[in-house]
Homo-oligomer: A and B are copies of this chain.
């Protein structure tokens, strides 16, 4: 998917919501455990109920790998279901990978070619040659960790290198990499004041923003400082949407939560 296609979908739906499909069998409704593939059954129901309200879905691969082969099958079925039924949806493998060049090439093949995700999250610690293999695939995107939403972000990401924080160094350096127009960045919502600085460095890039809701981030603040003329934001919500209820009405409850977020987004877009 191109950036323009994603922007067009955002305009069409008045939404820049990304729903995180972080499926934990201890949290989904009990009646789904009788299904042959409870993880996929859960995801399918959530997607069916929310796809008109969201522009992106983001399975975190940890939750699937935790269930071994069953989990990997459920991940395959989920991305196949999305690509077949909703090709207009932007799909993100939240995998936080990154390795030496030939190994990153294998990860890129796995997530972007074989599974067919539109994007994969990548950690920047190993530098340029660990990221560029992911960027070589046309119409596919890398979402590079810049400033994450957890407390540990302050351990290294905000440490000063040449009078600027490491995450700014990551943003600036990555702009010089080949096909950097296919780069997006993870920026946690828990630090809305940082968005102003970030937008000076990457004014046009899409930012994937976790941490709204469960982790305490505020949508208004993020949009105030982080939105650009093409919106440029994908706001992720995982637990608050998908675990809105753990009863028979879980999919309707998820749709309700997603719609509440979409309405807030529409109001913000209307004001702009």
Q: Hey, which bits of chain A sit against chain B, CB under 8 A? A: 22, 24, 60, 62-63, 65-66, 68-69, 72-73, 76, 96-101, 103-104, 106-107, 109-111, 114-115, 123-131, 145, 148-157, 159-162, 166, 169-170, 173
Q: List 28 A-B contacts (CB under 8 A).
A: A22-B103, A24-B106, A62-B106, A63-B106, A66-B110, A68-B72, A68-B76, A68-B110, A68-B115, A69-B72, A69-B73, A69-B76, A96-B123, A101-B150, A123-B123, A124-B155, A126-B150, A126-B152, A126-B153, A127-B156, A129-B151, A129-B152, A131-B152, A155-B173, A156-B166, A159-B166, A160-B162, A166-B166
Complex contact A153–B124 (CB within 8 A):
no
Complex contact B157–A127 (CB within 8 A):
yes
Nearest CB on B from A188, distance (A):
9
Which chain B residue lies CB-closest to A188? B100
Complex contact B100–A150 (CB within 8 A):
yes
Chain B residues, Cβ within 8 Å of A60: 99, 103
Chain B residues, Cβ within 8 Å of A103: 22, 60, 62-63
Lowest 8 A-B CB distances belong to which pairs?
A: A127-B152, A127-B155, A62-B106, A66-B106, A129-B152, A65-B110, A100-B150, A128-B152
Nearest CB on B from A136, distance (A):
15
Contact of A128 with B151 at beta-carbon distance under 8 Å, contacts A161-B159, A166-B161, A169-B156 already known: yes
Which chain B residue lies CB-closest to A150? B100
Complex contact A65–B106 (CB within 8 A):
yes
Complex contact B129–A150 (CB within 8 A):
yes
Question: CA–CA, A65 to B130, complex, Å?
Answer: 17
Chain B residues, Cβ within 8 Å of A145: 125-126
Question: CA–CA, A140 to B159, complex, Å?
Answer: 30
Nearest CB on B from A36, distance (A):
16
Contact of A99 with B96 at beta-carbon distance under 8 Å, contacts A76-B68, A126-B148, A130-B150 already known: yes
Chain B residues, Cβ within 8 Å of A130: 150, 152
Question: CA–CA, A240 to B17, complex, Å?
Answer: 47
Nearest CB on B from A168, distance (A):
12
Q: Which of B69, B100, B124 contacts A156 (CB 8 A)?
A: B124
